[in-house]
Structure 1
């Protein structure tokens, strides 16, 4: 169990406690928070409250996050495209449509299920639901992902992510024609206050920085390359929606009228990092999947 605390500010006066704690715990859903309240895991000024309690400025909220229920993540014989492997690190080319790790509603068929079949051991730092997973890419984003086979490798890779020394380049197709050859989007990202299932550029979000350059322009679309300095949830998708050029096929952040693609046109093309044990620089690049390239060919023919 993990004990947390928070002091209510003036601007949060009269906000329901379940709503406020969902904002404070950006990894928890409102229904989860309500279950904590019902289970008497939440206190205000050391007293039990109900989910509809209206918070007052200066209230001291304390809550206990319960340990997740133990579950068995089963190895599954799912083919994976291994780009590099040694006894410490694995680099895989994840196909679009595959979830990275198990979660509610996705307990099988994930990359973790496949990797557990492929490998005997994985890092346990991220717990039983995400063994070996140092960073993630979205279900419908294809491309390169690094996996730690032991805790020492996991710590070394995580430190590089924190220090922003890992190189990650993506390619995407966006709606609209970008005029600038290159640019940087520097805008903080957090939970969308209007829709907790989405991320958005918000004033008090986490620092997020995306560099981009134009690879090709079409009549109504642009093919771009992006390089991430930070790795916020849905970062590229949110940033390009924010500047008015949402990704093609993006069901969450893009327009309904889009090109015929099941999910966003986003591919993690290049990944570079220092080996966490030998410190040797490793860099890999993989082409976008055929359906992504087919869209580019069709756009080229349109002019």
Structure 2
């Protein structure tokens, strides 16, 4: 029997999703355990994967499983969830309102500060305020990020991002219905010529490529799966707005504030759901997945209800 503690940070999540994150095993493997009656929560056999966890319960697996190197570290520093850590990397699930590293003009929390508070030593490579940071997410975008712990990992991961060998997948809820339902947007991005706090498609800007496909189409909005070939500042937000379908909740790039208010959103509906790359230490391919935060999930349920 294996026993795991469900972190308080996962309170409200589906038990199958929480079990997958805690154990490091796939959702399909967890579902088979539930079907076989081999998964218990707080001493009770789980019968439905849709059951919600409260956080703080013990999860018991009564069937022996091969240990997985990918696990959930139960430490939580002010909302930044550590989903995996080893000698070379730490993967975090960043909440909205947190930046990757301290920066001028923003006085809020950062991933770098949270990791330091959790006692995680990261690579000293990079500028002093962004040591270990090899990728960034907007303050208003939630989801997965990888941070380098060793100096070698920093070098390897920076090169991987430059070579575009890191798989970055986002889900975005956009206004209207993109036509065609799937496609590629290739348009250069640079600072907006009239507003340096935002980005725009500008001739001579940095080469930028976004691939998208429809997951769900609803009356008011469409849920997209988006794969970034490049990683420019605000890339998804700029490209989808240029297509005429801004991310819901993103007034900076033309979203309807009325719709955002109806959905209870005060930020863009954009989440980094999957991150995959060749591990800089082992050479093996690793991947991680994040569930929707509560505010995005609630908004999506309203859209689904019409």
Question: So what's the TM-score if we normalise by structure 1?
Answer: 0.72
- Displacement of 1:124: 2.0
Per-residue CA deviations over 1:231-281 (Å, capped at 9, x if unaligned) read: 000000000011110111113213343323111000000000011121111
1:301 matched to 2:299:
no
Q: Give the counterpart of 2:287 among 249, 269, 283.
A: 283
- Displacement of 1:118: 2.1
Task: Tell me how many residue pairs correspond in the alignment.
Answer: 227
- Displacement of 1:116: 1.1
> Match for residue 49 of structure 1?
none
> Match for residue 208 of structure 1?
208
Aligned partners of 2:195, 2:105: CA distance in 1, in Å? Answer: 20
> Match for residue 90 of structure 1?
90
Question: SS at 1:96's partner residue?
Answer: coil
- Displacement of 1:169: 0.3
Contact 1:133 1:147 in 2 (8 A): yes
Correspondence 1:105-120 to 2 at 5 A: 105-107=105-107, 109-120=109-120
Contact 2:125 2:151 in 1 (8 A): yes
Question: SS at 2:299's partner residue?
Answer: helix
Q: Pick closer, same or farther for the CA change 1:239–1:77 going to 2, 3 Å.
A: closer
> Match for residue 145 of structure 1?
145
Q: Pick closer, same or farther for the CA change 1:79–1:181 going to 2, 3 Å.
A: closer
- Displacement of 1:297: 0.9
Aligned partners of 1:122, 1:141: CA distance in 2, in Å? Answer: 23
Question: So what's the TM-score if we normalise by structure 2?
Answer: 0.71
Correspondence 1:268-279 to 2 at 5 A: 268-279=272-283
Per-residue CA deviations over 1:126-159 (Å, capped at 9, x if unaligned) read: 2211111100000111100000012211110011
Contact 1:248 1:254 in 2 (8 A): no
Which sections of structure 2, spanning at least 5 residues, go unmatched? 1-75
Question: SS at 2:230's partner residue?
Answer: coil
Question: SS at 1:252's partner residue?
Answer: helix
Correspondence 1:18-33 to 2 at 5 A: none
Contact 2:99 2:108 in 1 (8 A): no
Greater displacement, 171-180 / 222-231? 171-180
- Displacement of 1:181: 2.5
Aligned partners of 1:282, 1:174: CA distance in 2, in Å? Answer: 29
> Match for residue 219 of structure 1?
219
> Match for residue 259 of structure 2?
258
Per-residue CA deviations over 1:194-237 (Å, capped at 9, x if unaligned) read: 21111101110001000000011111211111000100000000
Contact 2:97 2:109 in 1 (8 A): no
> Match for residue 194 of structure 2?
194
- Displacement of 1:170: 0.2
Correspondence 1:1-150 to 2 at 5 A: 78-107=78-107, 109-150=109-150
- Displacement of 1:79: 4.6
> Match for residue 23 of structure 1?
none
Greater displacement, 129-138 / 251-260? 251-260
CA RMSD of aligned residues (A): 1.6
Aligned partners of 1:220, 1:80: CA distance in 2, in Å? Answer: 32
The structure whose Rg is larger is 1
> Match for residue 40 of structure 2?
none
> Match for residue 36 of structure 1?
none
- Displacement of 1:112: 1.1
- Displacement of 1:120: 4.5
Aligned partners of 2:80, 2:196: CA distance in 1, in Å? Answer: 32
Per-residue CA deviations over 1:14-41 (Å, capped at 9, x if unaligned) read: xxxxxxxxxxxxxxxxxxxxxxxxxxxx
- Displacement of 1:77: 5.2
